[in-house]
Structure 1
Amino acid sequence: MAELIVVRHGQASFGAGDAGSYDRLSDLGRQQAVLAGDALRAAGWLPDRLICGTLDRQRETLAAMGFDGVAEEHSGWNEYDFHDLLAVRFGGAVPDPVRDDRKTHFRTLREVILDWQGGGLVGAAETYAQFARRVEAARAFSTDTAAERVLVVSSGGAIGQLVATSLKAPPDQMIALNLQIKNTSMSRFIFAGHRFFLHEFNTTPQFVGPEAAKLLTYS
């Protein structure tokens, strides 16, 4: 069976006040991406198809991984717009602690996503059902191929959704998975025709060892 490895982008600029500012890798994020590419090469895993979403942090991660080939793009691999969801939740005035404090941000985000999945947050730019459909479209696009090794760079929410769907888990497991996913972690799937199975989740061989472990981040 063929393999699909989906990598979360490297560390972005947490706490940035707008989506455009967040959508850039930090210096650490670029270093993480280089290490992820090196880890795959060391394992002898060389992709024969490259895909990412259309976000800059995804493109930058894939480029820094250093594989030859022209990357394809599919917007279904993009993250849900958490800036928009939080703005809708708070009527456009997101409290400073939600923007700037990691613990408060992610606790609030979990509550907001569960509300969104339940049909709340009317007025958001994208419904949860639309998000789920586009992630499935991205999966179908990426696995409709003669390639044996497909590498995708995506984001935590899309990866969480993909994993939850592959396991036929309840929708609320998407955010539970999402919040575990490390920057540049790898989730591996195997596929053939309509068959699609999770093989590994959220692995980080690039961060093995005490020094490399210091580079591990979640946002």
Structure 2
Amino acid sequence: MSHITLIRHGQANSGARDEASYDRLSPLGHQQSAWLGAHLRERQQHHARLYTGTLRRHVETADAMDTGLTPVRDARLNELEYLTLARAMEDEHGVAFPTDSAGFTEHLPRLFRAWQNDEIAGAPERFSDFEARVGDALSEIAAGDGPALVVTSGGLISMAMRQVLRLDIAAMAQMALAIYNTSQHQLFPIGGNLSPTMFNAIPHLEDPDRQHARTHV
């Protein structure tokens, strides 16, 4: 079993209100990704394999990182469709779509609970199916040879942490809210199971002049 380093994509189009419009990096997102790639090269961190989801923001992040590895694209590593879920929640339950960060912080846990309980009829996939595909993908990657980089999204990373730490849905949502763009999260095999040894690390953004680049959305 090999260790996995999960990377959240760079800042995307945070002002979008639908999945397609959101799915591209902002100029800052490209810069964050390039800084992360440079950091990995400077520290000579060895990774034998690179995986990404098939979303544009995953591909652009991996390209900007310039790892020198040929990526494997796997749709099981794609993000949950939060914007689609939020619109369905609004239409079906009258829960207003959040318009600011405070509203988003309150909205996400509520949406996750409703999704887990199959209370959103218009969900593009069931919560249980999302959970299964994430577990299957990470199990297969861990069974491969050599350390792996996985470029994906915050919701998927929070699901991975839910699985390895046995988190309830409220804790999973709280974790998702905390995840920085281009942050690193490491899962290491211990006793035949993956265990978290790093969460939300952003050493490439530690310099004071990069404080503006520590973004969550």
Q: TM tier, shorter chain?
A: over 0.9
Tell me the equivalent position of 1:207. Answer: 205
Structure 1 residues 175-217: Cα deviation after superposition (integer angstroms, max 9, x where no partner): 1111100000000111279421111111100111211222110
Q: Which residue of 1 aligns with 2:105?
A: 106
Q: Distance in 1 between matches of 2:97 and 2:123?
A: 22
Q: Deviations over 1:92-134 (max 9, x none)?
A: 8998862x42322332222111211223112311111011001
Consecutive unaligned residues in structure 2, runs of 5 or more: none
Alpha-carbon distance in structure 1 between the residues aligned to 2:122 and 2:207? 46
Q: Indicate conservation of the 8 Å contact 1:50/1:69, yes or no.
A: yes
Paired letter, 1:39 = H
Q: Tell me the equivalent position of 2:91.
A: 91
State the Cα distance separating 1:171 from its structure 2 match: 3.1
Q: Corresponding residue for 2:133?
A: 134
- Cα deviation, 1:150-176, whole Å, max 9, x if unaligned, reads 000010010001012111222332111
Q: Is the 8 A contact 2:109 2:169 kept in 1?
A: no
Q: Among all aligned residue pairs of Structure 1 and Structure 2, give the percentage whose two residues are the same amino acid.
A: 30
Matches of 2:100 and 2:92, distance apart in 1: 18
Query: Residue 91 of structure 2 aligns to a residue in which SS?
Result: coil
Superposed, 1:1-219 pairs within 5 Å as 2-91=2-91, 98=98, 100-147=99-146, 149-191=147-189, 194-219=192-217
What is the alpha-carbon distance in structure 2 between the residues aligned to residue 95 and residue 165 of structure 1?
28
RMSD of the TM alignment (CA)?
Answer: 2.1
8 Å contact from structure 1 (residues 87, 93) kept in 2: no
Partner deviation per Cα, 1:55-100 (whole Å, 9 max, x = no partner): 10011001100111210011121111112211211118998862x4
Mapped partners of 2:97, 2:56: distance in 1: 26
CA distance in structure 1 between the aligned counterparts of 2:94 and 2:21, rounded to whole angstroms: 16
Q: TM-score, normalised by structure 2?
A: 0.92
Cα distance in structure 2, aligned partners of 1:215 and 1:77: 24
Q: Which amino acid aligns with 2:69?
A: G
Unaligned runs of 5+ in 1: none
